[in-house]
Amino acid sequence: MDLLSILPKLAPAVGDREAIADAMYRCLWGFNTADAALEEVKAQCFDPISKMDTTQFLTNVHVNYVERKPKAVRTRWGLTQHYAPGQGFRMVPSRSLWEACTGVSLSKITPMTVED
């Protein structure tokens, strides 16, 4: 495991509100560094995007969350540049530039316990 893969795992534990934004940042960290760790994210997002060179930026992240409630809403603005494979660092690359404001409803998943 290289240093870029381990850095996000070394962060101290965060509260629920921060964890919502943190999950989004970790996902984009994986895209930008080609770190294919989580299988679900890998299959649905990383596999198609990783074939391109990408640069992704987030700003104006807002998390609407009430402590001890199972649901939250997260919004953010993003700017994404997708380049053809191997073309991201060329002086005059051919790219696709996307800007978006997205909102996502989230539900907290708690571990199940088995009683005897």
pLDDT of the chain, 116 residues: tens digit per residue = 454 555 556 566 777 777 777 777 777 777 777 766 666 667 777 677 767 777 777 777 788 877 777 788 877 777 777 777 777 666 665 666 666 677 777 777 665 455 54
- The reported pLDDT for the residue numbered 65 is 79
- Report the chain's C-alpha Rg in angstroms: 17
Query: What confidence score (pLDDT) does residue 96 get?
Result: 65
pTM confidence score: 0.47
pLDDT value of residue 89: 65
CA distances from 112 to 23, 70, 79, 89, 115 (A): 21, 15, 37, 46, 10
CATH (residue range 3-107):
3.10.450
Q: 109: which 2 tokens?
A: 């998943």
